[in-house]
Structure 1
Amino acid sequence: MAMSSDLQWRYWAVAALGFAAVLWVLGDVLLPFVTGAAIAYFLNPLVTKLTLAGLPRALSVTVLMLAMIGIVILAGLLVIPSVIAQAVQFTQTAPDLLERLQQFVTARFPNMQGVEEALQNSLVAMGETIRERGAALAQGVWRSVSGVVSVLIFMVITPVVAFYLLLDWPRVVKGADDLLPRQHAPVIRDLAGQIDRSIAGFVRGQVTVCLILAAYYATALGLVGLQFGLAIGVVAGLISFVPYIGAIIGGVLAIGVALWQFWGAPGSIGAVVVIFAIGQILEGNILVPRIVGNSVRLHPVWLLFAISAFGMLFGFTGMLIAVPLAASVGVLVRFGLSQYLASSLYQAPGPAQPLNEDDRL
């Protein structure tokens, strides 16, 4: 006996509410498992390529996991401490930087004497806020990662989860396919394929773009000699996950520091501007079209809303699943719109047919 559509919608709604409830209650506990699943999803295409090349799947997974762990350890020893040190130093230097900016503005624009006091108060307050909140923000992010499980447990569980998921990925996919309701299995498989292409195209591609941009900005700003260039470059590259945000925030910070550090040397200031201009050209015309592709339809505003909303509701774990859920919702909305446009509710009624003699009263 076929289940009515109303009853099916109720089941799906209960499943969605149950998922949200589990995420709400166990968000911090699920963090290493969600992170491990994300790593497994990210590395699975490479494992598949190695398997097709003739390597056993277990050996392919082992090689990739060891390479990833080596990269993380290398970054933790060489890059991350320097970035954190520069970020902390920047939060301590921000009040002095903003005070010099206020002196520069009042010295070169004497007609602004009427607003000098308000400008000074605003800049001083902004600097103190950066100093006070900068370290608190970093500590808050760190506590969200290590609040329930310690850093050691997190670092152990995540690669173990990623390893076993990669090892059993074909069986996991087949098991999920076997559980699909037979009546809707073809449609669900088609939607799952679209969601996978959307997530893979955006997440895998955009992560690669972010890493390239972070390396480019950090290296270029370091060669120019910009103070805090490593931290600003890494931050600008990594938050390029949301289009335009990384370039705007990184550019404002870098140019502001350049004005403070290189005033009187317009060549150095211009070099910082050129670095971010080249970065935007690379991102918009080379990296994103070639790596991410033009078929991924994930609007920046929708992405920013999803990250903000899920981060506020479910913490750091919510931010991790925000992009996959945003991509999934986008595919489902497009599917719903296509169904609506093909339905009689949207289609104009056809011309009235004349009645036959037998149909007339």
Structure 2
Amino acid sequence: MALPVGQQAKYWGIAVGVFLVVMWFLGDVILPFVLGGAIAYCLDPIADRLEKAGLSRVSSVAVITLVAALLFILLFLLVIPTLVQQTAALIDTAPELFNRLQAGLTERFPSLVDEQSTIRQQLIKIGETIQSKGGELINGLLSSAFGLLNVLILLIVVPVVAFYMLLDWDNMTAKIDSMLPRDHVDTIRQLARDIDKTLASFIRGQGTVCLILGTYYAAGLMLAGLKFGLIVGFIAGLITFIPYVGALVGGVLAVGLALFQFWGAVEITDGDVVTNTTNWVRIGIVAGIFGFGQFLEGNILTPKLVGGSVGLHPVWLLFALSVFGSLFGFVGMLVAVPLAAMLGVLARYGLDRYKDSLLYRGRSGSE
């Protein structure tokens, strides 16, 4: 006989409360394990396919680990130093960019932007603020991400955790399944399948889309000659999981930087005559890169890798990221998406049960 609904709600409420308390007090400590578990979850389908191809679980995990190590070494040697360098250069260049914007506005709208104008003063303050606060922002992100753990510990612990969790993933899921309450095992399994489907579509599929688009944007912008192409591509790819936001933010940032870099930047000397021209071709190429990226995402990548319906609305994602990030810091942002997916599945399940109940249909609907 199943427990009464009131007692079940009490026990589940206690479990949720314990989970939140653990996250609150141990957020920085459990960070490597959250990252390792996320990596193992994303790589488990690859290990399963290698097993179907004839490899053992140990061999499959060893192959994945070797490939991941090689990719990490390449990123660490080739990409990360350039990314850090461009980020610092972009922050240092911000006041100059705003000064050029101010000069352009002054030239075209002299009546609106004079020396005592509010617009001009605000532009100066924005440039100075970005330069002074940019380093603090990066340091704040790093400190919130790492907390008491340093980079070296993360680089050691996360791969080890991911390796062992990937190695024992099937055993862990079977063990958890054996501990489910027998009265609700079928319902919980169905909810778990729905959650896994949502997470697989979003995290694995959308994560692949972000990686492909970020690489495309970074390589395309760097080949187009944009000074900060790598960091712009990284930003655009990182937030591509929010529909339209990644392309909008990255596109505006890239085109804005292209205008500052190529607007009047080419000097042609003809005797004593020096003129500045605008390289519209380069600016058009930068805009075209993001236009083609949107076409690629909407018509090829997202339909193939993510699917038609993920069940995570962009507003719900932003809300979850904001709430969990403010409450639990960087760890909260990491678990925000899977928790949002779980809550979304549970909410849809509850809504279906509500529509089947007398509370919704009434006595007339049950006749």
TM-score by length of 2: 0.93
**What is the CA distance between 1:308 and its match in structure 2?**
1.5
Q: CA deviation at 1:91?
A: 0.4
Q: Distance in 2 between matches of 1:352 and 1:207?
A: 45
* CA–CA separation in structure 1 for the residues paired with 2:70 and 2:165: 20
For the 8 Å contact 2:221–2:286, the answer to whether it is kept is yes
1:149 match: secondary structure: coil
Tell me the SS of whatever aligns to 1:306: helix
CA distance in 2, matches of 1:35, 1:351: 49
1:103 counterpart residue number? 103
Instruction: Pick which of 106-115 and 59-68 moved more.
Output: 106-115
Displacement of 1:295: 2.7
- Greater RCO, 1 or 2 (C-alpha within 8 Å, sep 6+): 1
The separation in 2 between residues aligned to 1:284 and 1:49, in whole angstroms, is: 28
> Match for residue 11 of structure 1?
11
Is there any run of 5+ residues in structure 1 with no aligned partner, and where?
354-361
The match for 1:63 is: 63
Work out the percentage of aligned pairs sharing the same amino acid.
51
Q: Please list the CA deviations of residues 234-262 of structure 1 after superposition, one character each: whole Å capped at 9, or x if unmatched.
A: 21111212222211211121111111111
Q: Which range is displaced more, 279-288 or 53-62?
A: 279-288
**1:76-100 C-alpha deviation (Å, 9 max, x unpaired):** 1100110110011000000110111
Query: Match of 2:310, SS?
Result: coil
Residue 299 (structure 1) aligns with: 313
Kept after mapping to 1: 8 A contact 2:217/2:236: yes
Match of 1:357 in 2: none
CA RMSD of aligned residues (A): 1.6
In 1, the alpha carbon distance for the partners of 2:184 and 2:149 equals 39
What one-letter code is carried by the residue in structure 2 that aligns with 1:341? K
Query: What is the aligned partner in structure 2 of residue 278 from structure 1?
Result: 292
Equivalent in 279, 293, 297 of residue 265 of structure 1: 279
Q: Distance in 2 between matches of 1:88 and 1:231?
A: 10
| Residue identity in the other structure for 1:322 | A
* Whole-Å separation in 2 of the counterparts to 1:205 and 1:80: 24
One of 298, 303, 318 as aligned partner of 1:289: 303
Letter in 2 for 1:231: I
1:192 maps to 2:197: no
Match of 1:139 in 2: 139
Provide closer, same or farther for how the CA distance between residues 186 and 114 of structure 1 changes in structure 2, counting only shifts above 3 A. Answer: same
Tell me if structure 2 keeps the 8 A contact 1:106–1:116: no
Q: How much does 1:115 deviate? A: 9.2
- State the distance in 1 between where 2:130 and 2:42 align: 35
Contact between 1:99 and 1:120, CA under 8 Å: does it hold in 2? no
**Aligned pair 1:320/2:334, yes or no?**
yes
Map 1:319-338 onto structure 2 (within 5 A).
319-338=333-352
1:129 is matched with 129
Distance 1:310 1:224, change over 3 A: same
2:239 alignment counterpart = 239
The 3 A distance-change label for structure 1 pair 110 and 167 is: same
Distance apart, 1:352 and its partner CA: 11
Aligned-residue offset at 1:116: 6.6
CA positional deviation for 1:129: 1.3
Alignment partners' CA distance in 2, 1:104 and 1:268 = 19
Partner of 1:215: 215
2:270 aligned residue = none
Runs of at least 5 residues in structure 2 that lack an aligned partner in the other structure? 264-277
**SS of equivalent to 2:357:** coil
Corresponding residue for 1:93? 93
Structure 2 CA distance, aligned partners of 1:119 and 1:146? 39
Hey, what's the Cα distance between the residues in 2 that align with 1:141 and 1:67?
29
* Alpha-carbon distance in 2 for matches of 1:246, 1:113: 32
The whole-number CA distance in structure 1 between the counterparts of 2:355 and 2:115 is 57
CA-CA distance at 1:145 after TM superposition? 2.8
Q: Could you tell me which residue of structure 2 aligns to residue 39 of structure 1?
A: 39
Deviations 1:17-42 (A, max 9, x none): 00000000000000000000000000
- Of stretches 344-353 and 324-333 in structure 1, the one that deviates more from structure 2 is 344-353
Size of the aligned set, in residue pairs, is 353
User: In structure 2, what is the Cα distance between the partners aligned to 1:253 and 1:116?
Assistant: 28
> Partner letter of residue 45 of structure 1?
P
Say whether 1:311 aligns with 2:325: yes
Q: Paired residue for 2:361?
A: 347
Pick which of 111-120 and 249-258 moved more. Answer: 111-120
Residue 256 of structure 1 aligns with an amino acid whose one-letter code is G
Does the 8 A contact of 1:51 with 1:57 survive in 2?
Answer: yes
**8 A Cα contact 2:114 2:120, kept in partner:** no
**CA gap 1:3/1:132 in 2 versus in 1, 3 angstroms:** same
1:202, CA displacement in angstroms? 0.4
